[in-house]
Amino acid sequence: MLKDKLKNIKCENGDSIPRYLTKFTQCWDELGSVGLTVDEEELVSLALLSILKSWHSYQDSINGRGKLPGWERLWSDLVQEEIRRNTRDGSSSKASGEENCALAAKAKKGKEKGSLFESTSSNDGKKVEK
């Protein structure tokens, strides 16, 4: 049931990238708390598959790489791309940028404190159970 929830997460119109990715992080952590694991690469793939259609060219550029980025790298890249798009379109506001930074920091802090997974250089950046 939780894995279905993860697969059914969609980016809704009006969702910021950090808000969208936080949905995945929260579900991923819920799965881990009941002993179910989801490979980080699968999480990245699911996030890319369910992003808005307006992001499909960016999605194609990520999928065209030899190897998918890790979760934290994807998060960072998508937030930077959202800021770039908002700035280019003239729709960026200081409040929106601050919200993105705050949500990104909150999610990252939550992952460091409460996640059942950790990433280390000794395991090629993959998430492993603590």
Instruction: DSSP for the chain, please give it.
Output: -HHHHHHT--PPTT--HHHHHHHHHHHHHHHHHTT----HHHHHHHHHHTS-GGGHHHHHHHHTSSSPPPHHHHHHHHHHHHHHHHHHHT---HHHHHHHHHHHHHHHHHHHHH-SEEE-GGGTT-EEE-
Q: Would you list the domain boundaries of the chain?
A: 2-110
pLDDT at 66: 84
**pLDDT tens digits for range 33-49:** 999 999 999 999 999 99
Mean pLDDT, rounded, of the chain: 78
Query: Are 105 and 84 in contact, with CB atoms under 8 Å apart?
Result: no
CA distances from 60 to 21, 51, 123 (A): 18, 11, 27
- pTM of the predicted model as reported, rounded to 2 decimal places: 0.67
CA 105/CA 107 separation, integer angstroms? 6
**Percent of the chain residues topping a pLDDT of 90:** 57
The bridge status of strand 117-119 relative to strand 127-129 is antiparallel
